Amino acid sequence: STTLTIGMNPAGTAGYDSGLDIKQPPPPPAPAFDARLIITGDELQTDIRLISTDETIYRMDFIHDPSASNMTLSWNMSKADSLGAMEVQTLAGATLQDMTTNASYTFNTTTPILTISMTVTEDITLPVSLMNFSASGSADGVQLLWSTASEIQNLGFEIYRSAQQNDGFRLIGSYENNPDLRGAGTTNVQNDYAFTDPSATSGETYWYRLADVDFSGVRTLHAPISVIAGENSGGIPQKFALAQNFPNPFNPGTTIRFELPEAANVNLSVFNLLGEKVAEVLSRNLPAGTHQTTWDAGYLPGGVYFYQLQTPKFTATRKMILLK
């Protein structure tokens, strides 16, 4: 038998996600049984996608022993039922089994490919509602800042670093030995956090990932952010500036970069076409330098939005497009 795992996470994508997905090793020689999850360019043992209330399709491929006439797919029915609608389907989308009413499905070996359709209808409450996650280079290394809108049984945070966007992340900071990374437990009050990585080499580009850990030890990874270490030590920006977000168009996450020639109270907000504020990405005092922050718009409908940077001496607005 083979165990496959599917799921959802705020940092998940339709591709391979280091730290979330697990690649399946090459299949054993025939006639041994094998099963794997298929995504573009990869074969997985664990496939974690972005949390979405739209239908999400997971594809499974099977290799069977020629002497066998049937195969059985089984699952934890209680976990399937807790999310919403889940079905075993053919590749063409025909329903074969409701996964919330039965814990297994037996099929003949002439069906080498099945899919699982997941449509989340229940509210998924995350342990931490992350408002923003920003990084800036400085003479001291790299400073990471983040804010939470609310926390549920949050034990604390972990910081991971890599020289690559999608692989090679290693733990460099933990709530277990750094009191600044301890969570606020359960709260609906905004909390601000900071972490400095002094070991980053000036001029090198690094990727950082933030994880929160709840009281049960469940770890939730958030999307990575990149920064050039020590870039501010080579010179403070000469003027205020707000760069175009990237990528743009985007779905669901994007990065916003801006420059401060002096320390300032900064507010970075997002507005819709009606001028209504739909998100406050950042609101705090920041040192002079080049800063960038990530914003996840997964909860908003697609369309045109405007992001605005405000300080006591500077205001700038740019347009961005969320594609869904």
pLDDT, position 227:
87
The string of pLDDT tens digits covering residues 314-324 is 999 999 999 97
pLDDT of 132: 82
What is the rounded average pLDDT of the residues 55-65? Answer: 84
pLDDT tens across 225-249, in order? 888 887 554 467 889 999 999 999 9
pLDDT of residue 269: 94
Q: Which DSSP string corresponds to 128-166? A: EEEEEEEEEEETTEEEEEEEEEEEEEEEEEEEEEESSSS
Domains of the chain: 5-120 (no CATH), 125-234 (2.60.40.10), 236-324 (2.60.40.1930)
Query: Which tens digits make up the pLDDT trace of 201-229?
Result: 888 889 999 999 999 888 888 888 888 88
Residues 6+ apart with CB under 8 A from 28: 34
